[in-house]
Amino acid sequence: MTLAQQIDLSRTTDITPDGSDYETVRQVIEMLTLDYQSQPSLEDIAERLSQSPTQLQKTFTRWAGLSPKAFLQAVTLDHAKRLLGREELPLLETSFELGLSGPGRLHDLFVSHEAMSPGEWKARGAGLTIRYGYHPSPFGLALVMITDRGLAGLAFSDPGDEVACFDDMAKRWPNAVYVEDIDATAPYAARVFHPERWSADEPLRVVLIGSDFQIRVWESLLEIPLGRAVTYSDIACKIGQPTASRAVGAAVGRNPISFVVPCHRALGKSGALTGYHWGLTRKRAMLGWEAGKG
């Protein structure tokens, strides 16, 4: 099966209740980002999207378990500051302690990880077979990459950017052998995006492929509970390099397993979302979606 055929096939069986939900959410987020000062009402937003307010309400409730108003509150700067612990901006240990119970904690226990050896990383994928497939997700089309040791890559693509998305991921491990295998990757996609399938009794196996410094940063990201956030400087302190905030930011940006290794929960010191490899709109969507699950 060709890459284009696989993408078309994956789009016919969406794991979200409505395949257009994320597209609607994306348009709303972008609209509000560009027009944040006027704070458009639900009626105004619905009219611009040629939907009724009732339709928009149902879309957000189905997609995130939140009303549009609650979702919009969840992607504001004020909410980001609350995720960080208001003005205190707690270190990672404090944030971790605040998420020890509830669905958020369950998500953290759901992931079991291991790191490839420095030698394996330096080989840049030589001797490694990576199976991949495209799957619809709550955040657009997801590119799932796995090895025999577990999930190694998770990326996101906007329509028409699928090949560029694959190339972006494949260049990280240029010496690996890549095999299209949607049947092998489908179970991973289903488990990652279905909260009811998050189980500490059956953890999702994840394999981290990166430098020693990158892996330490990514392991710190795994400690951030759902519904919380930390700053880059928090992470730098956590790994014992308090002056390495900029390097931490670079490592966060190179995280190959988006969403599962939650780099979207890393924010600027002020609470600003800063950058995100797969787009700030998607980062806002993830934080809003998680607000409805925590």
pLDDT at 4 over 90: no
For a pLDDT cut of 90, what percent of the chain falls above it? 37
Specify which residues 147 forms β-bridges with: 150
CATH match for 20-123 among 3.30.750.24, 3.30.465.10, 2.30.110.10, 1.10.10.60 = 1.10.10.60
Amino acid at 184: A
Catalytic amino acids? Answer: 263
Considering the entire predicted model, what is its pTM?
0.80
What is the Cα–Cα distance from 83 to 268, expressed in whole angstroms? 12
User: Comparing 20-123 with 212-292, is the CATH topology the same?
Assistant: yes
In the chain, where the domains are located:
20-123, 129-197, 212-292
Question: 212-292 has which fold?
Answer: Arc Repressor Mutant, subunit A (1.10.10)
- pLDDT number for residue 86: 45
pLDDT digits (tens, 9 = 90+) for 22-44: 888 888 888 776 665 566 778 88
- pLDDT number for residue 149: 92
- pLDDT number for residue 30: 80
pLDDT digits (tens, 9 = 90+) for 154-184: 999 988 899 999 999 999 999 999 999 999 9
Question: 129-197 has which fold?
Answer: Double Stranded RNA Binding Domain (3.30.160)
Asked if 260 and 192 touch (Cβ cutoff 8 Å), the reply is yes
